[in-house]
Amino acid sequence: MEVTVNVNGTDHTADVEPRKLLVDHIRTVVGLTGTHIGCDTTSCGVCTVLLDGAPVKSCTVLAVQADGRSVTTVEGLKSGGELHPVQTAFSDEHGLQCGFCTPAMMLVGAALLEQNPDPSDEEIRWAISGNLCRCTGYMNIVKSIRAAAEAKATAAAGADS
């Protein structure tokens, strides 16, 4: 059936099988491979995207369910040619190693900061607890999201003054 999904600000219309998973749709039809697949059981979270701004595991959403909705993937985090503060922070704070879980972690971090601009370490850990990482032990991921919160606050203060 025909579905139109807005991905990172651009509408993509395609004829998709009803059983097609959103993650496969994003990767193979839209052609953005920054969203990964890690487990098939909604456990690892590496397929996380933002659906109308909220994190979802795109291996457990059908492409048809995203019809008429907007999806943000890692490729859409940047705006106006500028990296999102979480992207900068992940690199600055060594929040990634192999990079496979990273797009999802950054999206969850970005969504958290929209809801809660000043999260505690505990709140960050809870927010990312649906996303697995096997390389970093999470400490630097938490630090990265904290650093992004601080960078956003500094930028906002700068804009206000």
Instruction: Give the strand order in the sheet containing 10-15.
Output: 10-15, 2-7, 70-72, 48-51, 54-57
Please list every residue from 85 through 124 that binds another protein, using CB under 8 A: 87, 90-92, 94, 96-103, 106, 124
Residue 83: DSSP 8-state: P
Q: Which stretch binds another protein (CB under 8 A): 28-36, 60-68, 112-120, 150-158?
A: 28-36
Residue 102 C-alpha from the chain's centroid: 8
The residue within the footprint of another protein, chosen from 70, 138, 150, 153 (CB under 8 A), is 138
Are β-strands 2-7 and 10-15 bridged in parallel, bridged antiparallel, or unpaired?
antiparallel
Q: Any residues with CB less than 8 A from the CB of 126 and at least 6 apart, and which?
A: none
Asked if 79 touches another protein (CB under 8 A), the answer is: no
Asked if 82 touches another protein (CB under 8 A), the answer is: no
> Within 13 A of 138's CA, how many CA atoms are on the CB side?
13
CB of 160 to another protein, least distance (A): 28
Asked if 129 touches another protein (CB under 8 A), the answer is: yes
- The answer to whether the beta carbons of residues 3 and 16 sit under 8 Å apart is yes
Asked if 39 touches another protein (CB under 8 A), the answer is: yes
Where does this chain bind another protein (CB under 8 A)? 17, 19-20, 24, 27-28, 32-41, 43-44, 46, 73-75, 77-78, 83, 87, 90-92, 94, 96-103, 106, 124-126, 128-142
